[in-house]
Amino acid sequence: MKDILCAPFVEEMKEITANMYRLGWDERNGGNISWMLDEAQVGEYLDLSRVVRTIPTGFEAKPLIGKIFIVTGTGKYFRNIPKYPERDLGIIRIAEDGVTAELLWGFSDGGKFTSELPAHLMSHMTRLSVDPANRVVMHCHPTYLLAMNFVHPLEEKALTHTLWEMCTECMVVFPDGVGVLPWMVCGTNEIGIATAEKMKEFRLVVWGMHGLYGVGKDIDEAFGLIETVEKAAQVYMLSYNRPRINTIRDDELVEIAKAFGLEYRRDFLNL
């Protein structure tokens, strides 16, 4: 059996959480990640018949029975994950009852997965129905996007349109736009249900005055979506209260879409 601490999925979680903390997106114990892993790959590092303990999830996720995830822990700081991966990360499998997580590795201090796990599982189920290649759900608190929440209308068309205008690459990276939820109490099934509903249309969902959910087929895609939105929000916040001399026009956004063969939210343009 190979050393689990050298597994590529553990190494990548260590690297990405350190980067997200460094960027200021995951202060203290803010933010969480879940990544659906390939069973055969995990089997190279763990005895999959050995369950360390079981943990109720608080949510029925029958479509995910048998699926294995590496997840961040509740109350854990992203900045500590590279140093204490076995304590602050866990590898879980959704048990046959659909409401229990079997801990296969990690959470060595007796801890458990993020309190947002039900929201993650709901989003995983929705995104898999839309895109079977989806594997990652990532939640964080990007600084400039969060600031933008307080000075810009929290409405999907308006927010997406503004972000598309900020950088040429935005239309290319998220042509499906950005979903928006109003402020809601986090850590509840209610916000998870609302997020999953938005995930039918969007790969990015803003939690009003809180943060952002991004998904993807791998860590790079989910992270890339979030960093592109955050860059656009930064440009907006650095310029929104000054006279705008130049902008990317809607007809130019259409040109971008044509050049890259994009399927985009045409109803989010003002044409």
CA atoms within 13 A on the CB side of 153: 8
Q: Which helix (H) or strand (E) holds 86?
A: helix 85-88
Tokens matching residue 180: 């928006």
CB 25 within 8 A of CB 142: yes
DSSP 80: G
Alpha helices by DSSP H, listed for 111-239, are 117-130, 143-149, 156-166, 168-173, 189-198, 219-239
Residues 6+ apart with CB under 8 A from 203: 127, 174, 176, 214, 215, 216, 225
Q: Count the Cβ atoms, other than its own, within 10 Å of residue 206.
A: 26
Cα separation, 73 vs 83, in Å, equals 14
15 is catalytic: no
Partnered with residue 214 across adjacent β-strands are 138, 204
The amino acid at residue 42 is V
Query: Which entry of 116, 156, 165, 221 is annotated as an active-site residue?
Result: 116
Catalytic machinery residues = 116
